[in-house]
Chain A
Amino acid sequence: MSQNINDQSSPTVSLRTVGIELPLIATEPLTSGPVAINPEFPGFANIFESTGEAEIHSPTPNRREFIALSSAAITLAAVGCRRPDLEILPYSQTPDNIIPGIPLYYASAMPRPGGCAALLIETDLALRGQVFNREAEGVAVVGGDAEVFGKGVNGRRLIRFVLEVVEESSFVLQRHVNFQCGGTCPRVLLVSNCNRF
């Protein structure tokens, strides 16, 4: 519905939300549409009158907001950043046979045709509670976990091979697995069979 706004006797718009009545002031007649000055759309009159109602809040910040946010961010970065504390958490009660940085067990691999067999090596620190060299030497060769390796032809071959190595001598063990044997009964813990790589 259009209206002639130059008509002095034009109707006023009742702003029910603010409880006042304002005369319609415009230089050009507004046509039909949702923005037309109409009692059915009372809020749009306030855009021209700056009453504060129905102001359009743009998602783009204005200059003051931009400066305020930037200042706050820089201040937080300057004040909030500090060197992180690094904590050392020693034991409460001293455990036996622990030397920090020297493993009780470590992973190794035994070359096999077309792949390798993963080994879990028990070091002399775990086995005898002392280290003969600066780094713990792997000495442990256990008969194997049949539950893990007993399945399939490859598993049975692997178990047989390791047991043969163990039964032969430490020299063979050293040559194949590339770690030294400490002289006592060696053990190897078999943990898994590597896929072909």
Chain B
Amino acid sequence: MFNILYKEFVVQRTVILAYAVVAILFITQLIRVDGPMAVISMLAMFFTFGTAAYEDKNNSHVLLNSLPVARKEIVTAKYVFHIAFGICLVGLTFIYRTIIGALPKDAAMWQYVIAVTVIVWFVSVFFPMYFWLGPRFVQIGMIVLLIVMFTAVPMVYNLGVKHNFWGIPDFIQSLPRFLLFVFATAVTIVFLIVSRLISVRLYERKQF
């Protein structure tokens, strides 16, 4: 599986660098945004869409499936690569805030956890849909994501700020932290495992 991860890295190296630069602009607030963690999560989502579109354009499924590698490994590597990319983007934020001395307070730490969770959930939804619907999903999904990013997210965020997020943060704060963390992690892991199982089944049925 490491050879597939290596392939992903070599093929996407320039794109990864470009995303890192854009992420830094948001993290350092050179481009001012409310809630940079949400933007970072969105960037990770765009990266996943972009790489899928690139693979389809190159028809690289034919190449990959002609190499000595099992389809199950191809699917697993995709999950690992994209989740790792998301974690790296979130990690970049963490490192920057640590360097400038804004060491994460407890609440801020939750932002990182939530961002990673959102990325994992996104990846878990993306791949089964992608393997099921193919390039059509990428084209439509990218447009939907753009619309959501520039219209729905800011609207909901502003509305949330106005209404103190309907008391959700307070409610979460009132719950026992450890229990909440364990519960969220368990649900996310189960969702991820189920998603991968579905993706493997769908990908193994694919014909190129």
A and B together in one complex: no
Residues of B bordering A, CB below 8 Å: none
Residues of A within 8 A of B (CB): none
